[in-house]
A and B are shown apart, each in its own frame.
Chain A
Amino acid sequence: MYLSNRKSKTTFNLLKFNPPSFLLQRLPLLRVSVLKLLLQYRALVPRSLFTCCSCWENSCLRRSAFKTSLLSGLLRSLLLFTLHPHLLHCQLSSSLLFPFWTPPYCRSLKLRMKVKVVSRSTDEFTRERSQDLQRVFRNFDPNLRSQEKAIEYVRAVNAAKLDKIFARPFIGAMDGHIDAVSCMAKNPNYLKGIFSGSMDGDIRLWDMASRRTVCRFPGHQGAIRGLTVSTDGRTLVSCGTDCTVRLWDVPVATLMESDGTDRSPQAVYTGKNSFWNVDHQWEGDLFATAGAQVDIWNHNRSQPVNSFAWGTDTVISIRFNPGEPNLLAASASDRSIILYDLRLQSPARKVIMRTKTNSICWNPMEPMNFTAANEDCNCYSYDARKLDEAKCVHKDHVSAVMDIDYSPTGREFVTGSYDRTVRIFQYNGGHSREIYHTKRMQRVFCVKFSCDASYIISGSDDTNLRLWKAKASEQLGVLLPREKKRHEYHEAIKGRYKHLPEVKRIVRHRHLPKPIYKAGITLREMTEAERRKEERRKAHSAPGSIVKEPLRKRRIIKEVE
């Protein structure tokens, strides 16, 4: 920006001024000393200018300038004074050099002010060449942005709407099984691979990227009930109703492209009863099977290394703790959840609930917590150290929850239910954040979160595996930084205005299949009626005789040590 502050400009202009060429040519010939010259002109030059020039000259001397340059400088100023009175007046009038003396024309004009106006040159504010980026200037002054809060709110509403528009969670189905998919296992060592077992004894390895079968593992005579992969990703363990446990070699990742090859089992161990579930230890080479009792197996032994039994009922699901390798949780058909410690001779603790628990999953980031998928449409999060009360009850399903799996981040989990839907819950949220359903998806028997927390796989009664996005409106593929920033901004403003009715309504709205919608209403009516009845009973009995228990406690019958 051009600065018209004369005070600072005075000296510059004096220095820049070039004397006429004829004077310059003569200068070397003039062998007159500075002082002499000054004396000579003393009468002509006012005293202040005289002192000024001498000062200036001194400073030049200090800078070891040429004498000629001094002379020229002096002459220059004199010349200015004599030849260009108007210029001089402009430059010197505002300066402090002449406190006492002002030329007569200056007095008449009275110009002692300082003025500056906004002035922009186009070159400074536009790009130089067309290949350059456009120049961007920012001014975050709130006064320039009127109604910014209203604009932000409108953006939040639009972001919520856009989210709904882009919510396309279903990626594709993987078909190939000829019976219902009963169990799945993810390969901890290979992101794209997923194993699935079906009710007719077929085990398949799928490539999630191409959604095709990579290979099959034939051999089981009855339904597959449990599948698990060792932590190193080399061994697949399967068990089923044909009373066998089979160990398989997992094909190496590079060979995964080869299609249609059948594998043969590495080992077949036979038990006395049919197996219901199997899980591999996170660190170590043990795996546990559930059935009439809990058996602990080693890869190399055909007989279980250890067996636990508590009561006579069948154990239907089993899971090792991700943090403590010797700890495992199981659920039995006597409605109990049992904790086992492999270092002890007998099971450690047991909690009996009012309904059966179908599946259990530990939170991988908070390994003391686990969530149980219950038959009564709810999931219950427990702290393993404190089983007399659930930490959180996750409600929303309208039928039994069949399977549950935590995201590797530990912040959310996915559940599959007998009501033909898949739901995603926050680890501490009472209600689901998302519901997935399609017309063709039947009862969901197994769900898995992918190892990168961005996909969900569900296996259902209709013999298909389905691949979903974990965030329904997420943009897949590599994002540009600008896109990423935009998404982050949208998330932030949605979070900021999420309590406002309009935003809340749009974010919460889900289209549900009619039966599920109706069932939800019925369920709510039932709970409401129960609550009312309880209230009335309380109102008509002696004060303090009926204590209302929270739902977190109500569904627990007792805890056994």
Chain B
Amino acid sequence: MGVEQENGESEKILPPIEQELADELDAKVKKYLRGEGANLEVLKDKKLRGQLSVREELYGISAKAAAKTEKWLMPSEGGYLETEGLEKTWRIKQEAIGREVDISSSRKQYDIVLPDLGPYTLDFTPSGRYVAVAGRKGHLAVVDMKDMKLIREIQVRETTRDIAFLHNELFFAAAQKKYTYIYNRDGVELHCLKEHGAVSRLQFLRNHFLLASINKYGQLHYQDITTGQMVANFRTGFGRTDVMQVNPFNGVIALGHSGGTVSMWKPTTAAPLVKMLCHPGPITAMAFHPNGHLMATSGKERKIKIWDVRKFEVIQTISGHAKTLDFSQKGLLAAASGSFVQILGDFSGSQTYSRYINHSMVKGYQIGKVLFRPYEDVLGIGHSMGWSSILIPGSGEPNFDTWLANPFETPKQRQEKEIRSLLDKLPPETIMLDPSRIGTVRPPKSREKPTKQEVEAKIEGAIDAAKNVEFKKKTKGRNKPSKRVKKRKEVIEKAKRPFFDQQMEDNPTKKKQKISQVNELPTSLQRFARKKATA
């Protein structure tokens, strides 16, 4: 109702409830519009403008339709934790939350204690249904989280540093002592990736089917897992690191280095896209917001910084140490160090993170990895004594899309999805800092250099304008004709100056050439060249 009226006279005053509904709808429509429309006013081609305006209108209609149907398509509301009065959310313990929620949810709080083969690290499938855990001493396991069933566990009897699921739960890669291996769900070793070397961190780029790894020599490898081709192999030159994170928004890989820099990489250029000095000391952890605009880094100097990745600026600095960081789908930030987990949330809407939930594990547990489970209000914690899972209300997206990530996927659906995602596999060139540039037109070239005549005409014009400047009548003595002529000359010179400066910039000076000539002398003859007088 509100929308129709909004289309018509905007001045019309709506009843309060309808106004509220219209505002709510507007916010939703904005989400689906994916940014501003193109500015068609500047187009001279009438036909093109007409066609594009029709298209823009269609985008608006579809966004509105999506916003309106949201109510029916997405019936589940997200989780929340609200307190009354003086109570604070961060004082609420996991036990209290567990008592309040339903039985099936309270089952998601658990500690799995495996003291022998820890510390553990973990990885979820994009649907959040399966988890792969890897113990440092070679214990690998895949667990179905829906019915809490262990699918397979193997003991590789080797140091295992990281584990990552490939495109679905059937395959996972484990970074072991010397090489990286790919296993299938039954624990059968399928491939040994010798080229990667002793890998410390693994990441899988789902859209591109690329397995990225950083090894102990600081080499970054990208391997296409569909063809087995090594797409890229870069020496980062920043030394050994085990801080690597994919920006899910654009597929760019960020590495955190011991010098405090963060470098961002894509597989098609051997030099980093971005090098930013984030902390004065080594970087301990890094995480990206799912919408790709925010990055969180933490340094050894006990600071967590939130960055705007579009502007490469710090938004917020939070004091505190974090050995591991992770953003949830709804934008909560988990930071853990020692045996303490802190969840930060952005509740003001102005991208300032404040504490939301605190959780302390048993003293002595060293947390190695925190990871939010997608589409669930659950945080997975890998620590030195096994792995745990706690409830963080409001962290996960409540509504899943069957065609994107389905927690209730059947084998048939999984097969179909595998084929579809392979058809839509992106080439490595599509990884770039601003992925919205794909499919856009290059802006028109800047005009070529003005010709000599044009420049002269411009200078003439400027001189004429300077000649005709009216001077103020000055006091006696300063208004002499000679002074006025001098002043006039100065004004003309001033008007000419920018043009000459421009010319100087365009044509390199002869002096500089001379100096270079001196340098070009063979080394044996350079001592005879005239030396600069020492000051």
B373-425, CB < 8 A from A: 375-377, 391, 393, 396-408, 410, 413, 423-425
CA distance A155 to B422 in the complex (A): 11
Q: Are B401 and A119 in contact (CB under 8 A)?
A: no
Residues of A within 8 A of B377 (CB): 117-118
Q: Are A158 and B248 in contact (CB under 8 A)?
A: no
Answer yes or no: B430 CB below 8 A from chain A CBs: yes
Answer yes or no: B217 CB below 8 A from chain A CBs: no
Can you report 22 residue pairs joining A to B where beta carbons are below 8 Å apart? A1-B398, A113-B82, A114-B83, A117-B105, A117-B391, A118-B375, A135-B402, A138-B74, A139-B73, A139-B74, A139-B397, A140-B401, A143-B329, A144-B405, A146-B251, A146-B292, A149-B435, A149-B436, A150-B207, A150-B426, A154-B424, A155-B423
The 8 Å CB contact of A121, one of B34, B104, B404, B410, is B104
Answer yes or no: B316 CB below 8 A from chain A CBs: no
CA distance A122 to B104 in the complex (A): 11
A140 CB to nearest B CB, Å: 5
A34 CB to nearest B CB, Å: 34
Residues of B within 8 A of A147 (CB): 207, 249-251, 426, 430, 435
Chain B interface mostly: loop
Q: A142-B31, A143-B291, A144-B404 are in contact. Are A158 and B80 (CB under 8 A)?
A: no
Residues of B within 8 A of A269 (CB): none
Q: Are B77 and A139 in contact (CB under 8 A)?
A: no
Q: Which of A110, A116, A141, A152 has the most CB of B within 10 A?
A: A116
Answer yes or no: A522 CB below 8 A from chain B CBs: no
Answer yes or no: B438 CB below 8 A from chain A CBs: yes
Closest 8 CB pairs of A and B: A2-B102, A117-B377, A150-B430, A117-B79, A139-B401, A119-B105, A139-B399, A114-B82
Against B, the Cβ 8 Å flags (1 = close, 0 = not) of A1-13 are 1101010000000
Q: A1-B76, A143-B291, A150-B438 are in contact. Are A113 and B404 (CB under 8 A)?
A: no
Q: Are A143 and B81 in contact (CB under 8 A)?
A: no
Q: Which of A147, A152, A497 has the most CB of B within 10 A?
A: A147
Residues of A within 8 A of B80 (CB): 114-116
B357 CB to nearest A CB, Å: 11
Answer yes or no: B101 CB below 8 A from chain A CBs: yes
Q: Are B436 and A158 in contact (CB under 8 A)?
A: no
State the interface size on chain A (CB cutoff 8 A).
47
Answer yes or no: A308 CB below 8 A from chain B CBs: no
Q: Are A158 and B423 in contact (CB under 8 A)?
A: yes
State the interface size on chain B (CB cutoff 8 A).
69
Q: Are A110 and B79 in contact (CB under 8 A)?
A: no
Against A, the Cβ 8 Å flags (1 = close, 0 = not) of B426-460 are 11001000011011010000000000000000000
Answer yes or no: A309 CB below 8 A from chain B CBs: no
Q: Are A138 and B402 in contact (CB under 8 A)?
A: yes
Residues of B within 8 A of A4 (CB): 100-102
Answer yes or no: B32 CB below 8 A from chain A CBs: yes
Q: Which of A112, A117, A147, A497 has the most CB of B within 10 A?
A: A117
CA distance A158 to B250 in the complex (A): 21
Q: Are B425 and A154 in contact (CB under 8 A)?
A: yes
Q: Are A111 and B73 in contact (CB under 8 A)?
A: no
Residues of B within 8 A of A136 (CB): 402-403
Residue of B whose beta carbon sits closest to that of A499: B441
The 8 Å CB contact of B439, one of A112, A115, A146, A152, is A152
CA distance A117 to B249 in the complex (A): 26
Answer yes or no: A97 CB below 8 A from chain B CBs: no
Interface window among B84-92, B156-164, B221-229, B521-529? B84-92
Residues of A within 8 A of B207 (CB): 146-147, 150-151
CA distance A116 to B97 in the complex (A): 9
Residues of B within 8 A of A155 (CB): 423-424
Residues of A within 8 A of B485 (CB): none
CA distance A113 to B97 in the complex (A): 9
Residue of A whose beta carbon sits closest to that of B33: A142
Residue of A whose beta carbon sits closest to that of B97: A115
Residues of A within 8 A of B83 (CB): 112-114
Residues of A within 8 A of B102 (CB): 2, 4, 119
B100 CB to nearest A CB, Å: 4
CA distance A119 to B377 in the complex (A): 8
Q: Are A134 and B105 in contact (CB under 8 A)?
A: no
Q: Which of B400, B425, B426, B439 has the most CB of A within 10 A?
A: B439
B252 CB to nearest A CB, Å: 11
Q: Are B404 and A154 in contact (CB under 8 A)?
A: no
CA distance A291 to B249 in the complex (A): 72
The 8 Å CB contact of B87, one of A6, A110, A497, A500, is A110
B248 CB to nearest A CB, Å: 5
CA distance A429 to B375 in the complex (A): 51
B21 CB to nearest A CB, Å: 20
Residues of B within 8 A of A50 (CB): none
Residues of B within 8 A of A144 (CB): 290, 329, 397, 401, 404-405
The 8 Å CB contact of B397, one of A114, A141, A145, is A141
Answer yes or no: B66 CB below 8 A from chain A CBs: yes
Answer yes or no: A81 CB below 8 A from chain B CBs: no
A412 CB to nearest B CB, Å: 19
B96-127, CB < 8 A from A: 96-97, 99-102, 104-105
Answer yes or no: A125 CB below 8 A from chain B CBs: yes
B272 CB to nearest A CB, Å: 20
Residue of A whose beta carbon sits closest to that of B102: A2
Residues of B within 8 A of A114 (CB): 80-83
Residue of A whose beta carbon sits closest to that of B105: A119
CA distance A118 to B76 in the complex (A): 8
Q: Are A116 and B423 in contact (CB under 8 A)?
A: no
Answer yes or no: A248 CB below 8 A from chain B CBs: no
Residues of B within 8 A of A149 (CB): 435-436, 438-439
Q: Are B248 and A146 in contact (CB under 8 A)?
A: yes
CA distance A510 to B396 in the complex (A): 50
Known: A116-B79, A120-B407, A142-B32. 14 other contacts (CB 8 A): A6-B100, A109-B96, A113-B92, A116-B393, A117-B391, A118-B79, A118-B105, A118-B376, A119-B101, A134-B413, A139-B74, A146-B249, A150-B435, A154-B425
Answer yes or no: A98 CB below 8 A from chain B CBs: no
CA distance A500 to B440 in the complex (A): 8
Q: Are A142 and B34 in contact (CB under 8 A)?
A: yes
Answer yes or no: A126 CB below 8 A from chain B CBs: yes
A66-99, CB < 8 A from B: 90
Residue of A whose beta carbon sits closest to that of B107: A119
Against A, the Cβ 8 Å flags (1 = close, 0 = not) of B227-261 are 00000000000000000000011110000000000
Q: Are A137 and B249 in contact (CB under 8 A)?
A: no
Answer yes or no: A56 CB below 8 A from chain B CBs: no
CA distance A499 to B48 in the complex (A): 13
Q: Are A112 and B84 in contact (CB under 8 A)?
A: yes
Q: Are A116 and B92 in contact (CB under 8 A)?
A: no
Against B, the Cβ 8 Å flags (1 = close, 0 = not) of A414-446 are 000000000000000000000000000000000
Answer yes or no: B78 CB below 8 A from chain A CBs: yes
Residues of B within 8 A of A121 (CB): 104
The 8 Å CB contact of A2, one of B99, B104, B393, B408, is B104
Q: Are B408 and A122 in contact (CB under 8 A)?
A: yes
A142-188, CB < 8 A from B: 142-147, 149-155, 158
CA distance A1 to B80 in the complex (A): 14
A426 CB to nearest B CB, Å: 15
Residues of B within 8 A of A90 (CB): 99
Answer yes or no: B494 CB below 8 A from chain A CBs: no
Q: Are B248 and A118 in contact (CB under 8 A)?
A: no
Q: A147-B430, A497-B439 are in contact. Are A126 and B376 (CB under 8 A)?
A: no
Against B, the Cβ 8 Å flags (1 = close, 0 = not) of A521-541 are 000000000000000000000
Answer yes or no: B275 CB below 8 A from chain A CBs: no
Q: Are A126 and B408 in contact (CB under 8 A)?
A: yes
Residues of B within 8 A of A134 (CB): 402, 410, 413
B291 CB to nearest A CB, Å: 5
CA distance A68 to B78 in the complex (A): 43
Answer yes or no: B310 CB below 8 A from chain A CBs: no
Residues of B within 8 A of A154 (CB): 424-427, 430
CA distance A1 to B79 in the complex (A): 11
